[in-house]
Amino acid sequence: MIEANALPESNQPEDALAAVVALRRLADTLERQAVRAALDQGWSWARIAQALGVSKQAAHKRLSEVAASTSST
């Protein structure tokens, strides 16, 4: 859990923006990992999309590479 008071001060935009970039990269990595695990367990794209709160098309477009790497292993 990220404490609100741990967030970089708003008067330090460089630090705050660096934190945003790092979190986005971490979130993308965790998302791919979670989707890979779901696919391995037989989840459908519709179910994954619903869990992520996005459309099936959006999930498939953004994360289809995970499916490719899962099926190749």
Partner 1 sequence: MFSRIKSRFGDIDTIKTLCLLAEKHALADQLRAPGAEHFLLAALDLPEDTARQAFERIGADASTLRQAIERQYSDALCSLGVDPKVAKASADEPLPSKLGAYNAAPSGKEVMLALAANRREHGPLLGAHVVAVVAGQQHGVASRALRVMGIDANALKSSAIEIAAGERRAPNLQAHS
The answer to whether 19 touches 7, Cβ cutoff 8 Å, is yes
Angle at 11 between CA 8 and CA 17, to 5 degrees: 50
CA distance 68 to 21: 26
The answer to whether 45 touches 15, Cβ cutoff 8 Å, is no
| Beta carbon nearer to partner 1, 2 or 53 | 2
| Beta carbon nearer to partner 1, 18 or 46 | 18
| 2 near partner 1 (CB under 8 A) | yes
| 23 near partner 1 (CB under 8 A) | yes
| 51 near partner 1 (CB under 8 A) | no
Residues within the interface to partner 1 (CB under 8 A) = 2-3, 6-8, 14-15, 17-19, 21-23, 25-26, 28-30, 32-33, 65, 68-69
